[in-house]
Structure 1
Amino acid sequence: MRAPIGEFDAVRPAAEALDLLVTPVADAVRGWGGDVPAEQLIHVDTDPQWADTATFVEHYGQDILEQSANCVVVAGKRGGESTLAACLVLSSTRVDVNGVVRRQLGSRKASFAPMDTATGETGMEYGGITPIGLPAHWQLLVDAAVVDLPYVLIGSGSRRGKLIVPGKAFAGLPNAVVLEGLGVA
């Protein structure tokens, strides 16, 4: 099997790579019910040392950057209460935490969640957090530019491996909200 983007040695449908996925991601793939068929979710096995975007692009090619997205966990605070959510933006952009995210969450203040909170709440590894398999009650804020791509390279829940998913699939994930301008240059 050949990946729809990038050049990878080990490529297979994500449903055939459940043993390489962390539990919440494997469960989400196993129970996939989105508009995009599960067979279009692809797993590529990659070396964990190349998991971070900059080193990944350096190792696998600059063209990957325009077709990849990062998922980050944010915390919105209002009146002593904190709300966690995830944001998915193109890797070439950054999340507009103090503008779009803060307004969408109805928070007075928004910031990136601490690493321990992000990994503990998601059951995923830092550097591999993905929008597939997030806690059911979380909002998933997705930049419209991600949804517009034919395929997007994202984390797989661990530092080993990535998922390649049709962009339109993200709009159909639980609690997904597609927003213009979530990712800024």
Structure 2
Amino acid sequence: MQAPIGSFDDATPAPDCLDRLTAPVAEAVRHWQGGVPAAQIVYVDTDPEWADTAVFVEHYGRDLLERSANCVVVSGKRGGETTLAACVVLSTTRVDVNGAVRRQLGARKASFAAMDTATGATGMEYGGITPLGLPADWPVLVDQAVVDLPYVLVGSGRRRGKLLVPGEAFAQLPGAIVLKDLGIATRQDSAS
């Protein structure tokens, strides 16, 4: 099949290649209940050497920069309680941790979770964390700009491979909360 975005040699509907996904991501695809059919979630094989965004878009298509999203794990703290959550924003923005995330989680302090915490709690590889297959009790904060795109490139749970997901599917994830200004422009973006 041809990938809906980017220039990939190997694109397969995710339900047809569950063995290429980490266990939690494969389970999420296997039991997908969103309004978007699971077959519209596409796995593309990519070289982990090219996983970093700048190198990735140079190799697989410059148009992917505006169509890629990052999924990061955050930690909100209030009193003795810690809440883990995921944030999904376009790659051209950064997560508003101290504003939107802190307010949404009702936390006194919010920060990016440590790498060991993020990988241990998700069962995914650092650099490949995806919003599909996260723990069921986590809030998944999604920027509206991600939902508005026809297709979005995100991690697959591993550094090798990516998922191409219809934007509207992000709003259908368990625990999804769509926020208008979760992603804020980076200095480079605001200067242009």
Give the superposition deviation at 1:31.
0.7
Q: What does 1:29-178 align with in structure 2 at a 5 Å threshold? A: 29-178=29-178
- Tell me how far apart the structure 2 counterparts of residues 166 and 78 of structure 1 sit (CA, whole Å): 34
Aligned partner letter, 1:48 = P
Residues 41-65 of structure 1 show CA distances to partners (whole Å, capped at 9, x for unaligned) of 0000001111122221232222111
- Tell me how far apart the structure 2 counterparts of residues 87 and 174 of structure 1 sit (CA, whole Å): 13
Aligned partner letter, 1:58 = E
Q: Secondary structure at the match of 1:111?
A: strand
Q: What does 1:7-26 align with in structure 2 at a 5 Å threshold? A: 7-26=7-26
Residues 105-137 of structure 1 show CA distances to partners (whole Å, capped at 9, x for unaligned) of 000000000000000000000000000000000
Q: Secondary structure at the match of 1:118?
A: helix
Give the superposition deviation at 1:80.
1.9
- Tell me how far apart the structure 2 counterparts of residues 62 and 7 of structure 1 sit (CA, whole Å): 10
Aligned partner letter, 2:177 = V
| Alignment length (residue pairs) | 185
Residues 66-106 of structure 1 show CA distances to partners (whole Å, capped at 9, x for unaligned) of 01100000000000211000000000000000000000000
RMSD, aligned α-carbons: 0.7
> Which aligned runs of 4 or more in structure 1 are off by greater than 4 angstroms?
none
TM-score, scaled to structure 2:
0.95
Residue number in structure 1 paired with 2:189 = none
- Tell me how far apart the structure 1 counterparts of residues 101 and 163 of structure 2 sit (CA, whole Å): 25
TM-score, scaled to structure 1:
0.98
- Tell me how far apart the structure 2 counterparts of residues 55 and 113 of structure 1 sit (CA, whole Å): 25
Aligned partner letter, 2:184 = V
Aligned partner letter, 2:116 = D
